[in-house]
Structure 1
Amino acid sequence: MSSTAPDRPLTVHIWSDIACPWCFIGKRRFEAAVREFGSPVEVEYHSFLLAPDSPTDYEGNEVDYLASRIGVPREQVEQMLARVTEAGAGEGLRYDFDALKHTNTGLAHQALHHAKAHGLQQELVERLFQAYFEQGRHLGRVEELVELAVEVGLDADETRAVLTGGRYAAAVGQDLAAARQIGVTGVPFFLIDGRYAVSGAQSSELFVSALRQAADAGPDDDS
């Protein structure tokens, strides 16, 4: 049964973390699904912290961090990163875990809330993922985030003031609380039209199916 175009944009809320490689892969697969779906989709990103206890400046590389955090041998971590690198390459991503600078992403999430307030969240999400996974940029530092924010059209002085003043720290906390309330335990997590949940970096085909199901169902009016 073919879907007809919905008479309103579908809304998709995505919980993700800039430090999550599968979130970047999931983003690519979801974007491909939206293109195939062909009807308007409004996307909003929400904060999720995979490692809220991470320091801003971690002394070591990503293999060191993961081996210590999950308690497995370095060789096993290297194999795991090789698999995710291959999966990313399949979506056109060039992961560089040797250059990656592990950090606490709380400040980056504040920057994303600032970008959302200016209608530039989608642009900054993409830029931060690229910077973190492909370019070895340090996303725990204010000036690094300011430089990246300017690239997508945000004002440097305002962004700096927002980040140093913690203007959106509470907004990040609200996103984390919302994730707990709806039972999000891992990311990426996609909530389509407030009713259809997709967890993980699923295939584009599955995302297309979920979007079409939501469109066919129509608005949630309890009728």
Structure 2
Amino acid sequence: MRIEIWMDVVCPWAYIGKRRVERALATLGEPAEVVWRPYRIDPTAPVPAEPLADALCDPAADEALRVCAPDLSPAENRLPVDRIAAKEGLGPPWGAAWRASSHDAHRLIALAEQAGVQDAVVEALLRAHFIDAVDIGDREVLARVVGDVFPEASELLTADAGEERVRELLLEGKARGIRTSPTIVAGDRALAGAQPPEVIAEFLTGSFAHVAERRPLPAEVERYRWAESLLEQRDPLGALALLRPLLAGHGDDRSVRMLAARAWYASAQLGRALAALEELVAQHPDDAYARVLLGRTLQRLGRHEEAEPHMRVGGALVPAYAS
């Protein structure tokens, strides 16, 4: 069984959630592969980091806290976390000292998966931030924190390794509807928040049965659906980023080309949209949607006379498009 945990290493509930997942798995006695995925609760955190005490005076900090525990008010979120952490065997001491960017930490976590030391790296980073209260936004500190379990970290950080992988995973998480840290995903089911171990265990038990019955989708189909989801969320550039491998490997697929054309149109890359749509209409003249989108693209380019016949044909094929 594969379990994904989407979380931010600067979210205290992620550390609490990690302990609760471990307890839940211990009670189930089921073999499981835990994979850690990135989520950013504070994507505007500065580099270099700033003292967290100063940052918490900013009203914008309340929104970051709300993302961690949406059921608690900011005041409630700040008060009980140390006591809850203590019940999970975390601290004392407890508490972050820095408002630090977690981007480089997530790079290390992504790279550590390939090296087979991901869980150890996640544990080291969470402990460094919440127990040792060091600045995990600093690359030298990061390399030192994980050096015992991931000695290649310093070289990889300097080389900017893992940048593309983390950005793609963040887009995937957005496409899949990840909205809080932590979120546990098993198959196509998700459990948001650092829930009690018994709740997690019940969720995983149900997920084990569901995954056993579910036929997994090909990776290309999942990627296509994620790109489509991003486009529906009005993130055409994100959709195009996820479509890039599909365009390279399946560029002749009609659905892939149409989704890319829609994303180019939505992101005002009208030249690319025009070229793709002209080719699609030439190959599939009865595709009403392609006709209409080609017409709209031409209209936005100021070529209204060329657009008119495509709009007319599209409306004739599908009357709803004529309105």
Report the TM range for the smaller structure's normalisation.
0.7 to 0.9
2:94 paired residue among 93, 96, 106: 96
Q: 2:202 matched to which residue of 1?
A: 209
Q: 1:173 matched to which residue of 2?
A: 167
Once the two structures are TM-superposed, the CA of residue 161 in structure 1 deviates from its matched residue by 2.1
Distance 1:101 1:40, change over 3 A: same
Aligned partner letter, 2:199: L
2:128 paired residue among 128, 131, 134: 131
1:83 paired residue among 76, 80, 85: 80
Structure 2 residue 51 is matched with structure 1 residue 57: no
Distance 1:114 1:64, change over 3 A: same
Q: 1:16 matched to which residue of 2?
A: 7
Aligned partner letter, 1:117: Q
2:57 paired residue among 62, 67, 87: 67
DSSP 3-state at the match of 1:190: strand
DSSP 3-state at the match of 1:67: coil
- Bigger relative contact order (CA 8 A; separation at least 6): 1
Aligned partner letter, 2:183: F
CA deviations on 1:198-221 (whole Å, 9 max, x unpaired) are 000001001111111122332412
DSSP 3-state at the match of 2:119: helix
DSSP 3-state at the match of 2:56: helix
Alpha-carbon distance in structure 1 between the residues aligned to 2:204 and 2:51 = 41
Once the two structures are TM-superposed, the CA of residue 79 in structure 1 deviates from its matched residue by 5.8
Distance 1:207 1:77, change over 3 A: closer
Report the TM-score when normalising by structure 2: 0.59
Contact 1:47/1:109 (CA < 8 Å) preserved in 2? yes
The number of residue pairs the alignment matches comes to 204
Alpha-carbon distance in structure 2 between the residues aligned to 1:79 and 1:200 = 15
Contact 1:24/1:129 (CA < 8 Å) preserved in 2? yes
DSSP 3-state at the match of 1:213: helix
Any stretches of 5+ residues in structure 2 without a counterpart?
64-72, 217-323
Alpha-carbon distance in structure 1 between the residues aligned to 2:62 and 2:18 = 28
Distance 1:60 1:143, change over 3 A: closer
Alpha-carbon distance in structure 1 between the residues aligned to 2:189 and 2:62 = 34
Alpha-carbon distance in structure 2 between the residues aligned to 1:71 and 1:188 = 17
Aligned partner letter, 1:44: V
DSSP 3-state at the match of 2:98: coil
CA deviations on 1:162-212 (whole Å, 9 max, x unpaired) are 1122110111111110111111111101111x1221000001001111111
Once the two structures are TM-superposed, the CA of residue 89 in structure 1 deviates from its matched residue by 1.0
Structure 2 residue 186 is matched with structure 1 residue 188: no
DSSP 3-state at the match of 1:151: coil
Contact 2:104/2:137 (CA < 8 Å) preserved in 1? yes
Q: 2:264 matched to which residue of 1?
A: none
Q: 1:3 matched to which residue of 2?
A: none
Q: 1:5 matched to which residue of 2?
A: none
Structure 2 residue 25 is matched with structure 1 residue 28: no
Percent identity, aligned pairs only, is 27
Q: 1:163 matched to which residue of 2?
A: 157
| Larger deviation, residues 159-168 vs 180-189 | 159-168
Once the two structures are TM-superposed, the CA of residue 122 in structure 1 deviates from its matched residue by 0.4
Alpha-carbon distance in structure 2 between the residues aligned to 1:105 and 1:196 = 26
Alpha-carbon distance in structure 1 between the residues aligned to 2:32 and 2:113 = 16
DSSP 3-state at the match of 1:147: helix
Distance 1:79 1:57, change over 3 A: farther
Any stretches of 5+ residues in structure 1 without a counterpart?
1-9
CA deviations on 1:32-78 (whole Å, 9 max, x unpaired) are 000001010111101111111111233333x4313312469xxx967
Contact 1:33/1:208 (CA < 8 Å) preserved in 2? yes
Aligned partner letter, 1:160: S
DSSP 3-state at the match of 1:19: coil
Report the TM-score when normalising by structure 1: 0.85
